[in-house]
Amino acid sequence: MTAISSASGQSAAGQARPVVPPVPRPDINRRRLARLGWTFSAPALVVIAAVTIFPIVYSVIMSFNNVSVTGSGFSLDGFTFSNYNLLLNSSLWRDALFFTVYYTLVTVIVELVLGTCIALVLERLVAGRGWMMALLLIPWSMITVINAELWAYIYNGTYGVADYILGGLGFHPVILGTPGPAIIGLMIADIWKTTPFVAIIVLAGLVMLPGDVYEAAEMDGASGWYTFWRITLPLLRPTIALAVMFRVLQAFGLFDLPYVMTGGGPGTSTQSLAILAYNALFKNLAFGPGAAVATTTALLVLLGCLASLRVFRVQVGQEGS
């Protein structure tokens, strides 16, 4: 047919319309379009490479060097494993890793369960679903720093509401001053912000489920629970898997919420990997060890990506490109 279709290798379909003259030299056309494609993508790809790929590589190099940073510049003083040695022998790194994983696990599971419940409710809601969706978008678009300040105020030991209510019930925990309650406090703030996001994704998945399956189940006299566990949940699995994967990968960058709300404390009980890296880099100016923390974190995310490459591939493959 014309340039594009023959270029993308579908010229066989052109046989149906013999009136159209054949396009001369489709190879050259294809090559020209490919060159155009790279020209068009080049600016974006160059910017991305300059700010992400190059620094990541450089970060790895730094992590294997004694880096000395002074007021005017910095230098790499020779290859060494010492940064990683320091890391692996430090309880700070182990604690940060443990906290990050533990926090991720709990928040993602709670958000998933709560979000699915909310989605199931909203799917049955007859009137006002649009308003509820709009409402759910507010926490999603909230600045995390504000979320942290707000909950820190709610938990405040002298004038916080949560403290006041718990006090009325006879508890007097110093919420942000005790490791256990501080972690729970962070999780609640996270759950408030992110559950609506999960609910929206699951709801979208629910709405797209085929209706006839449910009719069949109903005719067979399946109970509501049975339908949910045996039909709804399995059909939703791809949606949920993708949401969970992104949430988990992102949680490894956890920084804003604990940094503002608890400063990583009390002690180092809420210090995430990103906070540890930030403090090492910019508070202690230990660029070698800081780079090592950043690199290991990036490596963990990369491993996570590779593990879920199948999900990614489904993404890329969709719509048959």
List binders of other proteins among 16-35 (CB under 8 A): 30, 33-34
Smallest distance from other proteins to CB 76, Å: 11
Query: Footprint of other proteins on residues 280-299 (CB under 8 A)?
Result: 281-282, 287, 290-291, 294-295, 297-298
Query: Footprint of other proteins on residues 188-217 (CB under 8 A)?
Result: 192, 194, 196-197, 200-201, 204-205, 214
- 88 vs 314, beta carbon nearer other proteins: 314
Query: Footprint of other proteins on residues 140-179 (CB under 8 A)?
Result: 140-146, 148-154, 158-161, 164
- Measured from the Cβ of residue 233, the count of other Cβ atoms closer than 10 Å reads 12
The answer to whether 89 contacts other proteins (rule: CB under 8 A) is no
The contact mask relative to other proteins for 263-282 (x = CB under 8 A, - = no) is ----------xx--xx--xx
Phi/psi at 143 (nearest 5 deg)? Answer: -70, 125
Chain centroid, CA 74 distance in Å: 33
Instruction: Please state, in angstroms and rounded to a whole number, the distance separating the CA atoms of residues 190 and 197.
Output: 11
Instruction: Please state, in angstroms and rounded to a whole number, the distance separating the CA atoms of residues 218 and 194.
Output: 34
- Measured from the Cβ of residue 264, the count of other Cβ atoms closer than 10 Å reads 20
Smallest distance from other proteins to CB 244, Å: 10
Smallest distance from other proteins to CB 88, Å: 19
Smallest distance from other proteins to CB 228, Å: 11
Smallest distance from other proteins to CB 21, Å: 13
The answer to whether 303 contacts other proteins (rule: CB under 8 A) is no
Smallest distance from other proteins to CB 22, Å: 15
Helix/strand/coil (H, E, C) string of 128-166? CHHHHHHHHHHHHHCCHHHHHHHHHHHHCCCCCHHHHHH
Listed ranges 16-24, 78-86, 178-186, 248-256: which one lies at the site for other proteins (CB under 8 A)? 248-256
CA count, 13 A, side-chain hemisphere, 267: 10
* Residue burial 130-160, b: 16+ Cβ < 10 Å; e: rest: eebeeebeeeeeeebeebbeebbebbeeeeb
